[in-house]
Chain A
Amino acid sequence: MNIFWTLVIEMISFGLFIYFFGKVLWKPLMQAMEARRRRISEGLAAAERGQRELEDSVNKAEERMAEARSEAHELLANAQRQANETLERARADARGEGERIVSAAREEVDQAVAQAKEQLRREVGELAVDGAERILKREIDTKAHNDIIDDLVAEIR
């Protein structure tokens, strides 16, 4: 029983099998697993990126919402203020108008009173002159005595 040639044949077989195992089994599987590893890590990275983008857009949306809310607040406040102002102005206008009307009326009344007083004074003066004429039965020098009458009128006032 001599194993020399069996040994040699098996050594050659072993070498050949190493070569073919490497070619048929090892290399393609290693490449496939490497490819899968890369795909998985890429997928994970993409997922992370997506997550981050989602967070970003949520943040942005919230920001925009807050902005819109504050804008709306501002608009509302402006409108309120404008309305108030308008109201205030209208009120002031109305008050002014009323005061103007009242003062005009008062002036008119004053004028009328003054006129009436003037007329009264003149009539009284004339009556007084008339009366004096009648009493004295003579002409009075109107011009000479007008000053006196005016003084009298002023006193009546």
Chain B
Amino acid sequence: MSESVFTQDPTAVEYIQHHLSNLTLGEGFWSVHADTIIVSWVLGALLLWLGHVVGKRMTTDSEPSGLQNAVETVVEFVNDQAQSLFPRADPLIGPLALTIFLWVFAMNFMDMLPVDLLPLIAQWIGQNIFGVAAHNVPFRAVPTADLAVPFAMALVVFGLSIVYGVRKKGLGTYLKGFLVHPFGKYLAPFNIVMSLVEEIAKPLSLALRLFGNLFAGELVFMLIALTGFAWYMAPFQAALGWVWTVFHLLIIVIQAFIFMLLSVVYLALATSDDAH
């Protein structure tokens, strides 16, 4: 499985290091993870194209066709979840929840592709189009296993929750919440620390949960790829790969779902009527 693009077979450490390096453009502070951005954009564009196709062929007169049915099922599911947690009418919650669920799922799904497939394609392109030595072209296929993507989404949700909270309670009341919660006004300094920790823990845990799950899943696929060191290991490797793929298929759906759910929950909390 681990066909090599190295001049000699890489050691296990080299293989994993190579797979955990991003295709980085630029230097230092100005560097960006091109692989993460490309894959996430391609997937987002693919989903939008799918939505466009469904939207164009959409029919309300007859029974919906297969694709429309599937998309409608997902959208209805997301809508039900969002509405049960965020009962107030809001133009942003639905698209937000849908985007998180579909986009995160699509990015997570990159883990289902053979672990060397996208990197090999990237290396081929790098070698034949850009003339870069193959082993200098690392490529990480799973954007959600890159810290940047989960944190980007978590920060957007965090920012939105602050905006929602301020808009709902007014800036004064919102800031006052940091002073009087959770121990009452006489322990204000302590409250600030507690509230800040609590608020910052939300996006942090949100991002790290997704990142951790996907990073670990990716790593396990790499380890399974490393078990193919000899021909007689092939059945063993195939069995392991199959088992982990099935298990991980569950994980990627659940993680996408949890990220969506918690985002809606945080926004609902920010606009809830009680003191918190």
Write the residues of chain A forming the contact surface with B, with a CB cutoff of 8 angstroms.
Answer: 1-11, 13-15, 17-22, 24-30, 32-33, 35-36, 39
Write the residues of chain B forming the contact surface with A, with a CB cutoff of 8 angstroms.
Answer: 22, 24, 26, 28-33, 36-37, 40-41, 44, 47-48, 51-52, 54-55, 58-60, 71-72, 75-76, 79, 91-92, 94-96, 98-99, 102-103, 143, 146-149, 151-153, 155-156
CA distance A110 to B164 in the complex (A): 133
Whether A30 lies near B75 (C-beta < 8 A) is: yes
Whether B152 lies near A26 (C-beta < 8 A) is: no
Given contacts A20-B48, A25-B48, A26-B75, contact A13 B40 (CB under 8 A): yes
Whether A32 lies near B153 (C-beta < 8 A) is: no
A contacts with B: majority SS: helix
26 A–B pairs (Cβ distance < 8 Å), ordered by A:
A1-B31, A2-B28, A2-B30, A5-B30, A5-B32, A6-B32, A6-B37, A6-B146, A7-B152, A9-B32, A13-B40, A14-B99, A14-B103, A14-B156, A18-B95, A18-B96, A20-B48, A22-B95, A24-B48, A25-B95, A27-B95, A28-B58, A29-B75, A32-B60, A32-B72, A39-B60
CA distance A24 to B48 in the complex (A): 7
Whether A26 lies near B148 (C-beta < 8 A) is: no
Whether A11 lies near B99 (C-beta < 8 A) is: no
Q: B37 contacts which chain A residues (CB < 8 A)?
A: 6, 9-10, 13
Given contacts A6-B146, A30-B75, contact A11 B152 (CB under 8 A): yes
Whether B33 lies near A33 (C-beta < 8 A) is: no
Whether B55 lies near A10 (C-beta < 8 A) is: no
Taking A7-B155, A32-B59 as known contacts, 6 extra A-B pairs with beta carbons closer than 8 A to each other, sorted by chain A number, are A5-B31, A17-B103, A18-B92, A18-B95, A22-B95, A25-B48
